[in-house]
Structure formats: structure tokens, C-alpha cells
Structure 1
């Protein structure tokens, strides 16, 4: 194990042990506050919004929420955070099982320990998980593909090469997005590349998109499947003066800026705030009621273009506006989590 990782985990273990010692105080036990761990899959602008949602849920519901994660999206590092949270005896754990199957063992350990679990954003369909919060990934690809088709048709680019990039090839949710894109754009007569590995490091990501643009002068579109792709695609287009359509996922401020300036034609948002808030809320409701909540809490996909980008800027750029917006939204659309959940097995079915 790397020395840097050992140090980080030692610091985390010390913090978790301190929390355990505090909760073991008999006077504190009489007024014990529920403690929820949220294990992210990495830290960037996108996951910061997930973290904000999780912490807001904790504040609203009167529980302690500790969020763990670090830059780099290293799977073993984040599995180790999960293992430490189990050892610290958190009342429940929310997690993002990046990559799916590598998480199966630690999820099994938590389930055997009787710790309620909820996942978001990434799926681990071969594990003991049975509660997930996220968009319909295949459908999101369909929606994005339909808007790409619309914009290419308007530019009279009715055929040609479309370069697809994935920061984590083989990741189940990213593969589902890609399949959704193919389902729309293949029959329309476009030639889509295989998903090129655009990497999780931002500098590498930019350099790869720059190389892809140079290597594919005949492309009609560049499409990224991850949150760090659109800002870099937009910069490459701006600096290189390329005429292809830029497209991708998520609605961080640089992406919205690129849409406003015309360097990105469309991006699909996946409601990361809800992916932070709803798993915590579901776990707290389960702990307080004793009734297990299962299923798929599906969050909608936002398709953002130059025509509607200004509608999203306040929500995505101001934490107070974001919280107010989602409080109202959840009251209208997620009043009863158990009743509103899709069957969890829908995640295991082939996309339609």
C-alpha cells in the first residue's frame, strides 16, 4: 500500500475512533444523534454538489453526516474509506460504488454487520445493495443523442464521425450512456467511434481531447460522458477554432459558461444535489421507522442548451438558491420515498 494512502487512512481511522469514543460516553448515549457516513468516489466540482446535498440533508433531519472522499477517483482508496466507516460503526452508510463489482466484498461486509446502505450515481448490481438514487443512464444517453441529432441536422451535418470519450471505460453507468447515444445516432447515419479513454485527471483529459480534435478533423461532434469532459471540449474548440458540435454531461459552472459562449451545444445534467440528499434522507427514515426502503429513486435528466442555460445558472451557482429549489422540488416529487421508488431490478434489465 502506498505511504500517502496509509497516512490518509490513519488520519481517517483516528477521526473515526474519536467519534466512536464520544458515542460510547454513557451520558451521550441517552441523547445519541444518528451518524451517517457518505463515501464519495472522488472530489471535484460535481461531487461537491453531492456533498452539499448530503450535508443539507443532515442539517434538515438533525443527524450527523460525515462525507469522505478525495481527488483522484481511486477505487481502492474509497473502498478503504468504506471499510473504516464500517469499523467506526456508523448507523448507516451512503456510498458511490465507482466501477461496480470491486465494491461487492465491502458491501457484503456492511450488510452482514446490519448497517443500512444506500447508493447513488454508480451502480453495483451484483452486490447486496437494493436502494439506489440516480438518473436512468441509458435514457439520458437517448435524450442527449436526440438533442445532438437536432443540432447537427440544423447545421446540415446529416452524416459524419462523432467522437465519444469516457473518463472510465467499462464503468456500467458510462457504458449505459454510450449505448443510449448509439441507439439514436447510429440509425441516423452517423459513425460513432468506440469510447476513447479520456482519463480522470483534468490535465490529461484536456490533452486527450486536444489530441482527438487534431486527429479527427472530419468529426462533426465531440461528446464526453463525464463531468470533466465538456469544459475541456469547450476549451479545445475555442482555442482551435473547430466547427464540430461539443456535447457532454453535467452542469458545473464552466460547462454552463461554455454553453453560453457557444462552445458546447448541449449538456445533460443528472441532479447531483438529489444524489447527495435522498440517500441520507432514505437512510434516516429507515433508521427512525424501522422499515427498510428499497428500490430505485430515479432523478430526472436536465437537457441544457443555449436556449435554456440561463434558467439553470442560479440553481447551479448559488448554494442558497439550490437548497430552496430542491426543498420545493422534493416536496412535490419525493414526498413518499418508498411509494415513489422504481423496482430496484429495473437497474439489472437490458436498456430499452
Structure 2
């Protein structure tokens, strides 16, 4: 199985163009004149959409999500209300607040679906359409959510496991920065499915010095580990430091990208990244709600709309470097 090409967006008939690639008020808003496209504004009545994520402060991944959402909101004459809480009860409270305020639509991540179910049902009971993105690929449909935009995390993990096998790896650790996050756990499960010599290492993603020391200690304790797989770009860069601290020759691969990771892939410090196109996830989540509110459209035919996975490595990093500099990849 290879993922050198972009995944087709299931059910949309749209092919994402270009080579492909979870933080309060989190990801920084795009300033006027920043990249990311947009074009003119529609003439449909102004709507209000709440986007509520499980973003952990400081995780630059969410800057890309938010920039995509803001681009779509500008085009679609939408007031976008972004909020986030990394703790599931707090995120659920934010959804309930949006419901009580009478927004027209809600876009939400479902990292811990069980905790979100009552709030999502409250929205649906008031006739507020809900779409999910980024996290919750296995849960959104059963919750009554209309659409999902993201990648199948287990399949993405399988692609990584196959790559580890192809590269001749002997033993890997898969670093989970948030215990209980269904998407992250699915990623590591997928890696292990195709590369059984994988061990899960849980770290506290809210404390990067702790992340660094935990990975360092593991590499010192087990020199047989020759690959570290992280589940976010900042953790990959931290793992590089850990390997150096431990005197380990373990290679680093990761899920997700950010601008800082581009140079690390270019110089070989990080071998590759799995890209799920977060800018696209944010954009589609908002744009799909506008389509539903103004024309009754539902994307995907009851299936998730896939935005990944695909590998970014030395063979194609230059093609996405400029977009990364612009803050959209």
C-alpha cells in the first residue's frame, strides 16, 4: 500500500490538488492579507457557525485548521466563533454554550466521543446541524452528525506500519501524547497491525520537557528501538532532541506537519510525515455547513470525506514548502 498521491475526497467528486501532506483560544487567527486563498464573498444571508476543538495550547497544527476555517467563513459570509478546550468535559460545555447562543451550525472534533454525545444531541434537538472533522471517524455517524472530514486513523497507522517494514525497521515506539484520544490510539493500533514490533509510549503532551525526558529515558532503557513514531509535528522535533540526548540512532517519523517540520524533512532529521491536510479539514467543515444551510447539501453520501493519509518525505517536500511558509500546509 502506498499513499504517494492525495486521497480522493470521498463522495465529493473533488480531487484535492497538489502533493499531500490535534490546542484558551487556540490556533492563531489569520490576519488580513495572509495566504490561503478565499476570493470573493457570497451574497447569501450571514450565518453564525461555531467551531469547537480539543486543541491543546501551543500545538501549531490547529493554526492550519483555523486558517482553513477562516478562509471558508470569509468566502461564505459567515461569522466564525472558534473556541477550544483539550479536556472533553470543557469541550462539551463549549458545544452546549454554542447551542444555547443559537448558532446556525456547529463544527466539532470528536476526540472523546462519549463525552461529547449529550452536547451534540442537544444541538440536533434544536435543529442545529453538526459536522465533525479531524477526530471521530468511527463515531460521528452513530451520533447523528451529518458529515465527517478527516482521515481514517487506523488506515493511516497501517500505512506507517507498512513503511516501517519496507525500511527494514526492527523495533518502534509509537508515542501517544493524550491518553484516551480515540484517534491517536487508532493510529498506534494501525501501526502495530502492520508492524507488530511496535510498543506504545504514553507521554504528557501538555508538558514538552516531560515528553522529551520520557522519550529519552525509553531510548536509553531500550537500545533496540530504531524508530520513533510520533503523532504530531512538535513531538517529532522533540523526539529528535530525545534521540540526541540518549545517544540513539533511532529514526523519527511522524503524523502531521507544520512549517518547522519542513526543514527537518529536507535535512533528513525527520524521515517523513503523514499529512491529513488540516487546512482542508477546517475549510470543508465550515463550507459544508454553509452548503447545508443555504442549499440543503450533504457531502459524502453517509461516508467520511477523506483528506488523507499521504506521505511527505524528501521526494516531495519541496512541493509543499512554499505552502507551509504561507501557513496553509
- Equivalent residues of 2:45, 2:77 under 8 A apart: no
The 5 A counterparts of 1:127-276 are: 127-151=143-167, 153=168, 157=169, 159=170, 161-186=171-196, 191-193=197-199, 195-201=200-206, 202-276=208-282
2:298 and 2:225 map into 1 onto residues whose CA distance is: 50
- Is 1:112 matched up with 2:125? yes
The Cα of 1:89 is off from its aligned counterpart by 0.5
- Alpha-carbon distance between aligned partners in 1 of 2:246 and 2:317, rounded to the nearest angstrom: 24
Shift of 1:287: 0.3
Q: Output the CA distance in 1 between the equivalents of 2:63 and 2:293.
A: 26
Q: Identify the residue that residue 308 of structure 1 maps to in structure 2.
A: 316
What is the Cα-based RMSD across aligned positions, in Å? Answer: 2.2
Q: 1:48 aligns with which of 36, 60, 63?
A: 63
Matched with 2:112 is 99
Contact 2:50 2:105 in 1 (8 A): yes
The 8 Å contact of residues 199 and 205 in structure 1, kept in 2 or not, is answered as yes
Q: 1:236 to 1:260 in 2, by over 3 A?
A: farther
Cα shift at 1:32: 5.1
TM-score, normalised to structure 1, is 0.74
CA distance in 2, matches of 1:61, 1:199: 38
Q: 1:213 to 1:140 in 2, by over 3 A?
A: same
Secondary structure of the residue that 2:242 maps to in structure 1?
helix
Q: Distance in 2 between matches of 1:75 and 1:247?
A: 28
Determine which structure has the larger helix proportion and give its number: 1
Partners of 2:257 and 2:274 within 8 A in 1: yes
Aligned counterparts of 1:310 and 1:242: Cα–Cα separation in 2: 28
| Aligned mates of 1:217, 1:173 — CA distance in 2 | 28
Checking the alignment, whether the CA contact within 8 Å between 2:217 and 2:246 is kept in structure 1 is no
CA distance in 2 between partners of 1:253 and 1:207 (Å): 24
Change (3 A) 1:254 1:235: farther
CA shift for structure 1 position 239 = 4.3
**Higher RCO by CA contacts (8 Å cutoff, separation 6 or greater):** 2
Structure 2 gaps of 5+ residues are: 1-23, 26-43
1:6-17 equivalences under 5 Å are: none
How far apart in 2 are the matches of 1:238 and 1:311? 29
- Per the alignment, residue 281 of structure 1 pairs with 287
Residue 135 (structure 1) shift? 1.0
SS at the partner of 1:228?
helix
State the distance in 1 between where 2:45 and 2:67 align. Answer: 24
- In structure 2, C-alpha distance between the alignment counterparts of 1:181 and 1:35, rounded to whole Å: 39
Structure 1 contact 147–266 (Cα < 8 Å) conserved: no
TM-score normalized by the length of structure 2 = 0.79
Distance (Å, rounded) in 1 between the aligned partners of 2:156 and 2:298 = 29
